[in-house]
Chains A and B, each alone.
Chain A
Amino acid sequence: MDNTTAPAGTATSVLPLLAGRWGGRPVWRRRWLPRGRLMRWLAIAFLALLAGWALVPGLFASGSPTAVNPVAALLGPSGHYLLGTDQYGRSVYTELVYGARPALEVGLACTLIGGLTGSAVGIIGGYLGGWADMAVMRLIDILLALPGLFLALIFIAALPRTVPNEILAISISTVPIFARVLRGQALQVRSLLFIDAATVTGVRRRAIVWRHVVPNCMAPAVVLAAVNIGVAIVVAASLNFLGLGPSEGVLDWGALIASGQNYINQDWWISVFPGLTVALLVIAVSIIGDWLRDAMEPSSG
Chain B
Amino acid sequence: MGNEEPLLSVRDLAIGYQAARREVLLVRDVSFDVAPGEIVCLVGESGSGKTLTGRAVVGLLRHSGRLRVSGSVAFGGRELTTMPERELRRIRGREIGMIFQDPAAALDPVVRVGDQVAEAAVRLGSGRRRAERGRVIELMSQVGINDPEVRARQFPHEISGGMCQRVLIAIALAGDPGLLIADEPTTALDVTIQAQVLHLLSELRREKGLSVLLITHDMGVAAQMADRILVMYAGSLVEVAPTAEFFAHPGHPYSLGLVQAVPRVDAARARRLPAIPGTVPEPGDRPPGCPFHPRCPLRLDVCQTDEPALLPAGPGLAACHRSDEVRGDARLPIWAGTAWVDTARAETARAGSAAAAGQP
A interface residue numbers (CB < 8 A to B): 1, 3-6, 10-11, 23-24
Q: How far is the CA of A214 from the CA of B287 in the complex (A)?
A: 41
**Which residue in A1, A6, A10, A11 is a CB contact (below 8 Å) of B81?**
A1
Closest to B18 in A: A3
Q: How far is the CA of A17 from the CA of B63 in the complex (A)?
A: 18
Closest to A5 in B: B65
Question: A1 contacts which chain B residues (CB < 8 A)?
Answer: 62, 68-70, 81
Closest to B56 in A: A1
Question: B81 contacts which chain A residues (CB < 8 A)?
Answer: 1
Closest to B67 in A: A1
Minimum C-beta distance from B343 to chain A (A): 34
Minimum C-beta distance from B131 to chain A (A): 25
CB-based A-B contact count at 8 angstroms:
17
Are A6 and B63 in contact, CB atoms less than 8 angstroms apart? yes
Q: How far is the CA of A11 from the CA of B70 in the complex (A)?
A: 24
Q: How far is the CA of A6 from the CA of B67 in the complex (A)?
A: 11
Minimum C-beta distance from B239 to chain A (A): 27
Would you list 5 pairs from A and B whose C-beta atoms are within 8 A, ordered by A residue?
A1-B81, A3-B68, A4-B62, A23-B66, A24-B65
Question: B68 contacts which chain A residues (CB < 8 A)?
Answer: 1, 3
Q: Which 7 A-B pairs have the closest CB atoms?
A: A1-B69, A6-B65, A5-B65, A1-B70, A6-B63, A1-B68, A3-B68
Query: Number of B residues contacting the other chain (C-beta, 8 Å)?
Result: 9
Q: How far is the CA of A114 from the CA of B132 in the complex (A)?
A: 60
Minimum C-beta distance from B196 to chain A (A): 31
Question: B63 contacts which chain A residues (CB < 8 A)?
Answer: 6, 10-11
The binding surface of chain B is classed by DSSP as loop
Minimum C-beta distance from A153 to chain B (A): 41
Closest to A11 in B: B63
Question: B62 contacts which chain A residues (CB < 8 A)?
Answer: 1, 4
Are B65 and A23 in contact, CB atoms less than 8 angstroms apart? yes
Q: How far is the CA of A10 from the CA of B64 in the complex (A)?
A: 11
Minimum C-beta distance from A12 to chain B (A): 11
Q: How far is the CA of A179 from the CA of B68 in the complex (A)?
A: 45
Q: Residue among B62, B65, B68, B81 with the most chain A CB within 10 A? A: B65
Question: A3 contacts which chain B residues (CB < 8 A)?
Answer: 68
Question: A23 contacts which chain B residues (CB < 8 A)?
Answer: 65-66
Question: A6 contacts which chain B residues (CB < 8 A)?
Answer: 63-65
Question: B66 contacts which chain A residues (CB < 8 A)?
Answer: 23
Interface residues of B in 22-53 (CB under 8 A from A): none
Q: Residue among A1, A5, A10 with the most chain B CB within 10 A? A: A1
Question: A10 contacts which chain B residues (CB < 8 A)?
Answer: 63
Q: What 1/0 mask marks residues of chain B from 66 to 105 whose CB sits below 8 Å from any chain A CB?
A: 1011100000000001000000000000000000000000
Q: How far is the CA of A60 from the CA of B326 in the complex (A)?
A: 80
Interface residues of B in 179-212 (CB under 8 A from A): none
Question: B70 contacts which chain A residues (CB < 8 A)?
Answer: 1
Q: How far is the CA of A6 from the CA of B65 in the complex (A)?
A: 5
Interface residues of B in 322-350 (CB under 8 A from A): none
Question: A5 contacts which chain B residues (CB < 8 A)?
Answer: 65
Question: A4 contacts which chain B residues (CB < 8 A)?
Answer: 62, 65
Closest to B14 in A: A1
Interface residues of B in 285-312 (CB under 8 A from A): none
Q: How far is the CA of A6 from the CA of B64 in the complex (A)?
A: 7
Q: How far is the CA of A248 from the CA of B62 in the complex (A)?
A: 63
Q: How far is the CA of A299 from the CA of B3 in the complex (A)?
A: 52
Q: How far is the CA of A10 from the CA of B69 in the complex (A)?
A: 20
Question: B65 contacts which chain A residues (CB < 8 A)?
Answer: 4-6, 23-24
Question: A24 contacts which chain B residues (CB < 8 A)?
Answer: 65
Q: How far is the CA of A243 from the CA of B305 in the complex (A)?
A: 80
Minimum C-beta distance from A83 to chain B (A): 44
Minimum C-beta distance from B142 to chain A (A): 31
Question: A11 contacts which chain B residues (CB < 8 A)?
Answer: 63
Minimum C-beta distance from A89 to chain B (A): 57
Question: B64 contacts which chain A residues (CB < 8 A)?
Answer: 6
Q: How far is the CA of A3 from the CA of B66 in the complex (A)?
A: 8
